[in-house]
Amino acid sequence: MSERPVLEDRECPLSTTVQHVGEWWTLLILHDAFDGYTRFDQFQESLGISSSMLTTRLKTLVADGLLERRPYQANPVRHEYVLTGLGRSLRPVIVALAAWGNSRLAPEERSIFTAGPAASPAMRDRYAGPGRGGRVSG
Amino acid sequence: MSERPVLEDRECPLSTTVQHVGEWWTLLILHDAFDGYTRFDQFQESLGISSSMLTTRLKTLVADGLLERRPYQANPVRHEYVLTGLGRSLRPVIVALAAWGNSRLAPEERSIFTAGPAASPAMRDRYAGPGRGGRVSG
DNA sequence: CGGTATCCCTGAAGATACTG
DNA sequence: CAGTATCTTCAGGGATACCG
């Protein structure tokens, strides 16, 4: 998905959803959020996402009302990103997506989405991430 | 989503799914397929997608084993695109995505995914499509 | 640590023209 | 009608450097 186009939130239900969670990382970030991850470095470590991209995605997620950004410490100020009610309502979507992917994985790779805290971080360690448009070697 | 990256089909279940259905149009095409659409021009008319993009997406879907391309007429040869078993297995995913989007739409816009033949084509008429990277006015 | 700004590459997607 | 090929633009994304 390359963009968040003309239409805001109306039209086709399917399109609506894709607009909000269509970017590669968005669902993976939400997945981590369901796993209880809340901090910037947790997401970054878990996903191997670049900080700039993570910033962008988190901003969008906050702007979309799926995550809430709130301070949990002052001096220096630190924030955590927690699922809103709307964000939590995406759980069935993520479950469905993960379940389908799961059914295509070899048995030893399987690990159905559990949504418990830190379900299986090891699974994500080996995840290479989406297509990095950046330079391949430079 | 911008690419089909390094990993083929292993790793995270969520990523696996997104690799196959992550592109903007893919899910919409499949949605139409569930609605009983099978022909090139049906998809094109329904979605307002450019023919080149439709070709690309259909090829990928066939290559991924989600659709089957088979001739239904000779002289001139014509093909139809029908869901494979694997493609049909995506139905819960599409249902979940559409349901979430549906919950965000105004009541008069709603139309829960039915998967019957030609459920509600009118709904899609007004769909503007994903971000068109193409020129805006030229 | 927790981000933000900048640079640049790549792929998705539209437009258009063309073929069988 | 059913595509294919080519060109172009745009936004996603990685890398890097920097700020508080």
Q: Which of A15, A104, A129 sits opposite B101 (nearest CB)?
A: A15
Contact A106, B26 (CB under 8 A): no
Cβ A54 vs Cβ A40: under 8 Å: yes
Residue A71 distance to chain B (closest CA, Å): 28
Chain B residue whose CA is closest to A29: B14
DSSP B28-91: HHHHHHHTT--SHHHHHHHH---HHHHHHHHHHHHHTTSEEEEEEETTTTEEEEEE-HHHHTTH
Contact A133 B94 (CB under 8 A): no
Query: Chain B closest CA to A79's CA: distance in Å?
Result: 26
Angle, vertex CA B30, rays to CA A47 and CA B102, nearest 5: 75
Token digits for A62? 């906050």
Q: Name the helix (H) or strand (E) containing A81.
A: strand A78-83
**Token pair 């109306």 in the structure block, residue:** A10
Q: Which residues of chain A make contact with B89, given a CB cutoff of 8 A?
A: 100, 103
Mean pLDDT for the stretch of residues A92-109: 84
Non-local (6+) Cβ contacts of B32 within 8 A are B42, B43, B46, B47, B124
User: pLDDT digits over A57-81, tens only?
Assistant: 999 999 999 999 999 888 888 999 9
pLDDT computed for residue A1 by the predictor: 46
CB atoms within 10 A of CB B104: 17
What's the token pair of residue B37?
């659409």
Q: Based on the number of CB atoms within 10 Å of its own CB, is B41 exposed (0-12), middle (13-18) or buried (19 or more)?
A: exposed
Give the mean pLDDT of B59-87.
93
Calpha distance A43→A29 (Å, rounded): 7
User: Residue A37 above 60 pLDDT?
Assistant: yes
User: Strand C nucleotides below 7 A of a protein CB?
Assistant: 1-17, 20
Residue of B2, B89, B98 lying closest to A24 (CB–CB): B2
CA-to-C1' span, A70 to D17 (A): 27
Give percent of chain A above pLDDT 70: 68
Report the largest interatomic distance among the alpha carbons of chain A, rounded to a whole angstrom: 47
What does pLDDT average to over chain B? 76
**H-run or E-run covering A30:** helix A24-34
Identity (one letter) of the amino acid at B80? E
Nearest CB among A16, A18, A102 relative to B105 is that of A16
Q: Which residue of B has its CA nearest to A124?
A: B12
Mean pLDDT of all residues in A123-135: 40
pLDDT higher than threshold 50 for residue A125: no
Position B16 pLDDT exceeds 80: yes
Q: B67-73 and A78-83: which strand pairing?
A: unpaired
